[in-house]
Structure 1
């Protein structure tokens, strides 16, 4: 019983010693001076600092690259907007080459049907609502190719949502053949959420389809008819009075170049602050290491 109590006391004493004086215990067990352990801690701190600092700087440089890319795209888009409007044949040719965001288009077309498509979860000037769209049939030069002509999605504008989600806003469809002029845009695909997720509704005003993402290939698959991979945002809808016209938000890119520059500045600031904090912590470690080194030397001389 006495031996058991003695063993327990020794065990508790060793545990308390490790908790309170880790450097002393490690020195006794391994035989290394205490300042050596601090030097190793400084080495780990240095490695951690370099790794995190490099990551933060890399993120800042990546945002700078994105800002430069957006600046170039905006300049390209401004040049496209100042050019002459495309016709449908030129539009198809440009689509084969690449993106068409920013180009202007002049087209003669008529509605495929009075069906209204409502893009959900849109925000304009602090209001939550929908972007309304309608499909158009481009008037072909050769009527024999009418069935093969891809449809064009026309943006009717933003309309605020009602208080109840099941109640859809009233949007007047365009009717008859129209000559429309406006600018084109293509939405970037969000890899986290890109499916159409269409919900059809039948209202007093007609058929409405609420959807979550502007996925034109899925829309074409749903309708069984090809749709041009671009949206026309008209300058004006001829049949509507200015007071009846819906606003057309213009946001061709999710983030502007200025926001990317701001994010880059934030990453660089975080890298600077982190390096400063780690440098201050390293100076504390170094000071403590020197004090322990001197204490060990004095202890050795005393022995």
Structure 2
């Protein structure tokens, strides 16, 4: 029994384990690298499109393809807030603090609406069910902002999809909920409105170095596995002095 327990593992088992480890860590490294490169490309597009003249309201995208071509453009809008439809997106950070993104549909003259990310507000750390009161003017308002994709989705444990406080907000489902078509994008409001909300929106490339750093770590682990395999399975056995019988 002791001899069986001490029997060395088959070199094929070690080879397969090494290849699996190298494959997993290399794939993770490539994923992090692609994510960093995507954010860099988004940042370049934002800089280029932000320098363009503000987008006229009548040209605001109505399809996904048009919206993708308008992301990061500035736009001036006129419309009416649908204040009763305001939603607080939970677990959103600004400057490292937990809080909400306050989003409200803005009804446009065309009869449809666009989702506006109005700003960020801190959460009440003593009572998570409380939301800050955000004054919303009645009548027609004018605002300037940046065309963006819909609010980013966070991991959801299957909580309540409706209500004032939500983890995520899907445009299609929300459009059915409010009974009004929504443009396939959102607007990050830039103009101050005296509502107490903060608007230091993070740039797409703000954490790009984090992804590149993770990529280096994963590629380093893949190299380490390969190096250990080469040393212990190929090089070290050949360097052992032969033992005369």
The structure with the greater share of residues assigned to helix is 1
So what's the TM-score if we normalise by structure 2? 0.82
Aligned-partner SS, 2:106: strand
Q: Residue 20 in 1 paired to residue 2 in 2?
A: yes
Q: Which one of 277, 285, 298 corresponds to residue 228 of structure 2?
A: 277
1:129 alignment partner in structure 2 = 99
Aligned-partner SS, 1:21: helix
Q: Which one of 202, 211, 214 corresponds to residue 263 of structure 1?
A: 214
User: Following the alignment from structure 1 to structure 2, what is the Cα–Cα distance between the partners of residues 132 and 50?
Assistant: 48
Aligned-partner SS, 2:227: helix
Q: Rate the CA distance shift 1:256–1:195 in 2: closer, same or farther, 3 A.
A: farther
Q: Residue 198 in 1 paired to residue 147 in 2?
A: no
1:120 alignment partner in structure 2 = 90
2:188 alignment partner in structure 1 = 233
User: Following the alignment from structure 1 to structure 2, what is the Cα–Cα distance between the partners of residues 196 and 177?
Assistant: 32
Aligned-partner SS, 2:221: helix
Alignment RMSD, CA only? 3.2
Aligned-partner SS, 1:102: coil
Greater gyration radius:
1
Tell me how far 1:192 sits from its aligned partner: 5.4
1:81 alignment partner in structure 2 = 50
1:50 alignment partner in structure 2 = 19
1:152 alignment partner in structure 2 = 114
User: Following the alignment from structure 2 to structure 1, what is the Cα–Cα distance between the partners of residues 219 and 115?
Assistant: 42
2:138 alignment partner in structure 1 = 175
User: Following the alignment from structure 1 to structure 2, what is the Cα–Cα distance between the partners of residues 245 and 103?
Assistant: 25
Which structure has the higher relative contact order (CA within 8 Å, separation 6+)? Answer: 2
Q: Residue 216 in 1 paired to residue 171 in 2?
A: yes
Q: Residue 250 in 1 paired to residue 201 in 2?
A: yes
Q: Which runs of 5+ in 2 are unaligned?
A: none
> 1:220-242 CA distances to partner (integer Å, 9 max, x unpaired)?
1111111122222222144x2xx
